[in-house]
Amino acid sequence: MKKRWLFCAVAAVIAAGLLVGCDGKKETKVLRDLPADFVYEIRKSSYTVNYTDSEGREISLFGELYEPVDGGKYPAVILSHGYNGHYTAFTSECRRFAQRGYICYSFDFCGAQENGESMGRASNEYTPLTMKEDILAIVKDLKLYSGVDSKQIFLFGGSQGGLVTALAAADESIKDEIAGIAMYFPAFNIPDDWRGKPLVDSSPAGMGYVIGAKYIECVQDLDPYAVIGAYPKDVCIVWGDADAIVRREYIDRAVETYGADRVDLTVIEGAGHGFAGKALATAVDKVLTFFESHTYMT
């Protein structure tokens, strides 16, 4: 299979006429074009990212890295879970993306769930902005990882992880470096949901952990739409029209904020807040297609 891929890659380069002119202009970028049935053999391993956050806490982010076993450089995808989620939330996505030549890192946000494996921050200390710090630290780390093509890093997230993915991608330190972002039902509704709530630590029903006053204060002051549009590249959003948590108005406003010409929006009929079965297969295929349409040969 590898020989077949190499042949197709060489053919794509020749067909595109990748020549550097006498004037020294930059080579033309050519999309990576894997055969439709091609898959890499992959491996999974534990991976930890360590950093010091803005409040001086020593943070240790635990997650799993999925990567092709072949040598070389590959684009990377950082996958961010939602409320009370864990690094296991996107196992299907990680396997599928890695088989198509992406290094995938799915991790526990520090403090953002019951029984998480990341260390250094209590649940009543986490906020969407500490989650954003976690993502920025992972981007910095993976840029130095031997197998990662540092010029092709993608961000992906679901629900609250989608909101934080959008916030992180718009950060001045990385916004021009992130190759594309994809989100399942991004929870841009969170600030409205917490508006007017008392600034006290609380344990929402069914969550199993404490959401702190810091979190509530942070989201009440947060206007994601004033931030996310700073990300200058293309965006993929997958949403179900039976989603009772993230209503269509929040998705439409995100499309308007980014610009309809930059947003690839897929609406899955009958799907709610969380994909399974056929809806999940559709969502994974859609995000993978988006990534592959923005992945270039190096």
Q: Residue 219 domain-assigned? A: yes
* CATH number of the domain within which 100 lies: 3.40.50.1820
- Torsion from C-alpha of 156, 161, 162, 167, nearest 10 degrees: -100
Q: Residue 28 domain-assigned? A: no
Q: pLDDT digit string (tens) for 182-198?
A: 999 999 999 999 999 99
pLDDT tier, 205 (very low <50, low <70, confident <90, very high otherwise): confident
d(CA 146, CA 202): 42
pLDDT of 2 strictly over 70 = no
Whose CA is closest to 70, among 47, 94, 99? 99
Handedness of CA 268, 274, 277, 283 (dihedral sign): positive
The range of the structural domain enclosing residue 102 comes to 39-292
Q: Residue 31 domain-assigned? A: no
Q: What is the pLDDT of residue 23?
A: 47
pLDDT of 17 strictly over 60 = no
Q: What is the pLDDT of residue 265?
A: 98
Q: What is the pLDDT of residue 204?
A: 80
Cα 59 versus chain centre, distance: 20
Which residue carries 């077949």 as its tokens? Answer: 4
| Residues 6 or more apart whose Cβ sits within 8 Å of residue 127 | 212, 214, 215, 218, 219
Q: Residue 113 domain-assigned? A: yes
Q: Residue 297 domain-assigned? A: no
Please report the DSSP string for 196-255 in residue order: T--SS-B--TTT-SPBPHHHHHHHHT--GGGTGGG--S-EEEEEETT-SSS-HHHHHHHH
Q: pLDDT digit string (tens) for 57-95?
A: 999 999 999 999 998 999 999 999 999 999 999 999 999
* 137 vs 3: which has the higher pLDDT: 137
Q: pLDDT digit string (tens) for 96-148?
A: 999 999 999 999 999 999 999 999 999 999 999 999 999 999 999 999 999 99
Q: What is the number of domains present in the chain?
A: 1
Percentage of residues of the chain with pLDDT beyond 90? 86
pLDDT tier, 27 (very low <50, low <70, confident <90, very high otherwise): low
Q: What is the pLDDT of residue 26?
A: 55
Looking from the CA of 34 toward its CB, the CA atoms found within 13 Å total 22
Q: pLDDT digit string (tens) for 244-270?
A: 999 999 999 999 999 999 999 999 999
Q: What is the pLDDT of residue 22?
A: 39
pLDDT tier, 209 (very low <50, low <70, confident <90, very high otherwise): confident
Q: What are phi and psi of 45, to 5 degrees?
A: -150, 155
pLDDT of 278 strictly over 90 = yes
Q: Residue 27 domain-assigned? A: no
Q: Residue 32 domain-assigned? A: no
d(CA 170, CA 49): 21
Q: Residue 24 domain-assigned? A: no
